[in-house]
Amino acid sequence: MGRYATEPENPTKSCKARGSDLRVHFKNTREAAQAIKHMHLRKAMKYLKDVILKKQIVPFRRYNGGVGRKAQAKNHHAAGSQGRWPKKSAEILLELLKNAESNAEVKMLNTDALVIDHIQVNAAAKIRRRTYRAHGRINPYMSSPCHIEIILTEKDDAVPKAEDEKEKKKVSQKKLKKQKMKQALQGGE
């Protein structure tokens, strides 16, 4: 069990999950992970299921060379409206989220209040294969697997501020002096 890139602020209110050397494209997975970062667990799971069904798109922001433009990507304000539906990446991330959710249930956390606090995708060691080319040559045929780590944190519901009396409007020193002078003049008559 290796170390995570970061540790949660409150370990009792958070849970972790990770996958190593996963046979899924690093670049696609990185973009999908960035799309679900800071989402609530339920919303992220629904989003990834929609990506698999091509109902929602993953905006490609960093690794976007040669990525086609799609109308759905405009909803995410992706530069150049670039996006894709990386099915395999979405499936792997969905499995990891389910794993993290079951880890949360073991720790007796409220699964409805879980938020993806940290998600990181690192490139793993490439797997070498070879492809045969014309005139007896051989070229590399590499795969780009990745490591993924997720930390879910239980967020407290935002407590609304108690409504106090109307806050007194701040008055400048100059205005206060004017008011005092007016009262002194009126009181003097």
Q: For residue 79, what pLDDT is reported?
A: 87
* Range list of H helices, the chain: 26-36, 41-52, 87-106, 173-188
pLDDT exceeding 70 applies to what percent of the chain? 93
Tokens matching residue 185: 């003049």
Q: For residue 172, what pLDDT is reported?
A: 87
Contact 41, 97 (CB under 8 A): yes
Q: How confident is the model at residue 162 (pLDDT cuts 50, 70, 90)?
A: low
The phi, psi pair for 149, rounded to 5°, reads -135, 140
Q: What is the pLDDT of residues 41-98, one digit of tens each?
A: 999 999 999 999 999 999 999 999 999 999 999 999 988 999 999 999 999 999 999 9
Sign of CA dihedral 36, 39, 41, 45: negative
Q: How confident is the model at residue 188 (pLDDT cuts 50, 70, 90)?
A: low
Strand-by-strand arrangement of the 146-154 sheet: 14-22, 146-154, 114-123
